[in-house]
Amino acid sequence: MTCDMVRVEKLDDFLNALSTAQFDAILADYRLPGFTALDAWSALQATPRRPPFILLSGAIGESAAVEAIKLGISDYLLKDDMGKLAHVIQRAIEVQEAHLAKEHADAELAASERRLAHFADHLQMTIEQERAAIAREIHDDIGGSLAAIKFDLSWLGRHYGDPDALEHIESALGMLQHALGASQRIMLNLRPAILDQGLEAAVDWLAREFERRTGTRTTFRSTLKEAGISKPVQLAAYRTAQEALTNISKHAQCSEVRIELSDAEGVLTLEIADNGRGIQPAEREKPKAFGLKGLQERARSVAGWLDVSSRSGEGTSITLSIPLSPQPAGNLQDVTQ
């Protein structure tokens, strides 16, 4: 092994050498005049990128060598086995390189996860803003136009006595009323104005509408005491309930749904449970199974978490938990106003 070596016998010289050059490996006798290898190892901890540190000694016992390895020292070699030195150095360097590569990969992965989380927050906020904008357009433009047409048709119905014309007017009024109802439902789904009356009222309305629409027996129980729940937290809980009920109507094949809402011990808890067929493990792992993943990301955006419990043939329970302490900056903004 061809190498350049720098030899030092004092701790100060060791530290000076570290500050002026980058070394591939350090060989240290266990005990030197004035300091020991463990002193050198301790001083090395302040170095940003520590090279492999190998003990080379004829006096170290096995127990001392084991303790040194536990401290993080790369390897040790007895002076009686000097023929293995090149192999030990090479192995220590390779292990160090692998360790650095893993650290770099872990850092890249963590940075990627942070970028993905920020993107998910931005995407969710953008979706809510778009929903609010579309709902306003439906209310201001489409809703206003439909209401005006309804007034005109009603006027025509009062001033024309022709039976055929009245029949067509009544039919048009019926279709128009259906369109007005549809626009109201779309606006409520896009922009939950019901949240202005509080989360409890909004979830209660979702439960009653779900029961009316699907015929599935739905019970809602609330023990909320906290009055000042932030709009982002209310929106996250409302959307979770909305998405969970949508999934139940599509897949659960259940006869009963139970919704519970509480804020005990400073944590907002929303549970939606059904007695349906349950979620199969394979269904949860589908690449395009974004429903639950989206709910988990929404919970994370307000510093909460989502638990899903399901057993085949025994139903599914989705529980959202959100601490009610002040939310950190950067979470979903209030886009329901």
Q: What is the mean pLDDT of residues 74-86?
A: 83
Domain end residue (candidates: 106, 130, 156)? 106
Please indicate, yes or no, whether residues 101 and 201 belong to a single structural domain of this protein: no
CATH number at residue 224: 3.30.565.10
* Highest averaged pLDDT of the listed ranges 99-103, 135-139, 162-166, 216-220: 216-220
Residue 206 lies in a domain: yes
From 106, 139, 155, the end of a domain falls on 106
Say if residue 319 is in the same domain as residue 211: yes
Cα torsion at 276, 280, 283, 285 (round to 10°)? 140
334 and 229 belong to one structural domain: yes
Q: How far is CA 307 from the centre of its chain?
A: 12
Q: Which domain holds residue 199?
A: 194-337
Residue 112 lies in a domain: no
Residues 70 and 203 in one domain: no
**Contacts (Cβ under 8 Å, ≥6 apart) of 267:** 321, 322, 323, 324
Range in 112-116, 162-166, 289-293 the model is least confident about: 289-293
Both 87 and 209 in one domain: the answer is no
Give the end of a domain, one of 42, 73, 106: 106
pLDDT (tens digit, 9 = 90+) per residue, 231-272? 889 989 998 998 999 989 988 899 999 999 999 888 999 999
276 domain residue, yes or no: yes
Q: Confirm whether 172 is domain-assigned.
A: no
CATH code for position 90: 3.40.50.2300
Question: Do 202 and 330 share a domain, yes or no?
Answer: yes
Asked, for residue 151, whether it belongs to a domain, the answer is: no
Domain-embedded: residue 32: yes
Q: What is the pLDDT of residue 285?
A: 65
Residue 218: inside a domain: yes
Domain assignment present for 1: no
Say what the pLDDT of residue 208 is.
93
pLDDT for 337 beyond 50: no
Number of domains in the chain: 2
Q: What is the pTM of this model?
A: 0.55
Same-domain check for residues 222 and 330:
yes
